[in-house]
Amino acid sequence: RESAWVAMGSSEAHDLTQTVGGFLDRHMMLPMLDFLGSKQVYPESELDDARLKILSRTNMVDFAMDIHKKVNPNEPVPAEMSTQREAVMAKMQTLRDEAAPLLDILSNGSLVSSMRSERCFNLAYLQEHHNITLEHVAALGKHAKFTFDCGDYRSATSLLSSFRLLTPNADDAFSAQWGRLACEILLGAWDAALEELGSLRDAIEARSATTSAVMQLQQRAWLMHWALFLLPNHASGRQVVSDLFLSERYLNTIQTTCPHLLRYLAVAIVTTPRRRHLVKELVRVIAMEKPVFLDPITAFLDDLYNSADFEQAQEGLVACATTIENDFFLRNASADFLSHARLHIFESYCRIHERIDLESLAQKLGMERLPPEKWIVQ
């Protein structure tokens, strides 16, 4: 897969957008750019330039035209954009025509439901009873991908589901799984995305005998980055991310390929009380990866657990809050993180001090005296 990201020029400290973007489908970058615009992390002109560069490699020509008009209100739409739009419309019609016999069947909801209930919605049955050929199935796959590239994710997910069931090519079916996950993410269908994520994880492992070690590493890295979309959007997102990232093969992938994911793993674990037992393993990995990746969040945990520097840890919380609030995948985690982070400081402080001055400790935590007293009672 090609990187979705095109360099935007200047970058803000601790912003991982460009880094993470290298592991995403380019369509996934568009909501991230919108978020950066709302946070004013980058000038809007740079974001529009990035949008145009991303859109130029899709079939979303109308969207690209709208952005161009916004950036250049006094200029006509470039002729090449109009030409591209005509080419996209013509190509879409051609692909529809090539897949028409199969599309006609798929548009018959009662027929498809009947075949599914009788468990005969498969290529062999369609070949025998409806004269569907391998060429029709291949055309359906091309049509599905083209539809996705046009930004019609709802239609694409339906087409990809049918294609995955009908294609005899295992590699094509696997690619369709990635497409389905991308569609569910872009549609905001988070329960379906979680289900697809699990299915895709199983598929990656099932293909291990026929996939090179390098490609497996790459696929696991992609899957973890795509899983980040669940963090702010699914009730189980933090648990899913912490469990996936800390599983042996995926943790090895983080250390080998993408140590920046430690930021998201750290937030997921710190803000999930039921994952507190994983902190020890987390800080061990943070210490190992410190020479190649360190941000305010991993630095906070390193200061607290590996250095027992409580003052430095507390001072670092301000930078943690700023980093989290400006991160697309952590945008709703700031309050939770700060609350749990202070609790981590409190518990660590209590473990190594025989006598505790609650007033002094509360001041260090930037809190009133009452919360530490509540923690002791609890």
pLDDT in tens, 175-214: 999 999 999 999 999 999 999 999 999 999 999 889 999 9
Contact in structure between 59 and 88 (CB atoms under 8 Å): yes
Give me the pLDDT at residue 24, please.
98
Query: How many angstroms separate the CA atoms of 339 and 335, rounded?
Result: 6
Specify the DSSP class assigned to residue 78.
P
Residue 371 or 309, more confident: 309
Dihedral sign for Cα 58, 63, 65, 68, please: negative
Contact in structure between 261 and 222 (CB atoms under 8 Å): no
Question: pLDDT-based confidence at 367, cuts 50/70/90?
Answer: low
Give me the pLDDT at residue 276, please.
86
Query: How many angstroms separate the CA atoms of 343 and 376, rounded?
Result: 10
- The 10s digit of each residue's pLDDT in 120-176 is 999 999 999 999 999 999 999 999 999 999 999 999 999 999 999 999 999 999 999
Average pLDDT, the chain: 90
Give per-residue burial for 20-45: e unless 16+ CB within 10 Å, then b. Answer: bbebbbbbbbbebbebbbeeebbeee
pTM over 0.85: yes
What amino acid occupies position 98?
Answer: E
Contact in structure between 28 and 228 (CB atoms under 8 Å): no
Question: pLDDT-based confidence at 10, cuts 50/70/90?
Answer: very low
Helices (H) and strands (E) in the chain, counts: 22, 0
Overall size of the chain counted in residues? 378
Give per-residue burial for 198-235: e unless 16+ CB within 10 Å, then b. Answer: eebbebbeeeeeebeeeebbbbbbbbbbbbbbbbbbbe
Residue 55 or 372, more confident: 55
Residue 5 has pLDDT above 60, yes or no: no
What amino acid occupies position 218?
Answer: Q
Residue 11 has pLDDT above 60, yes or no: no
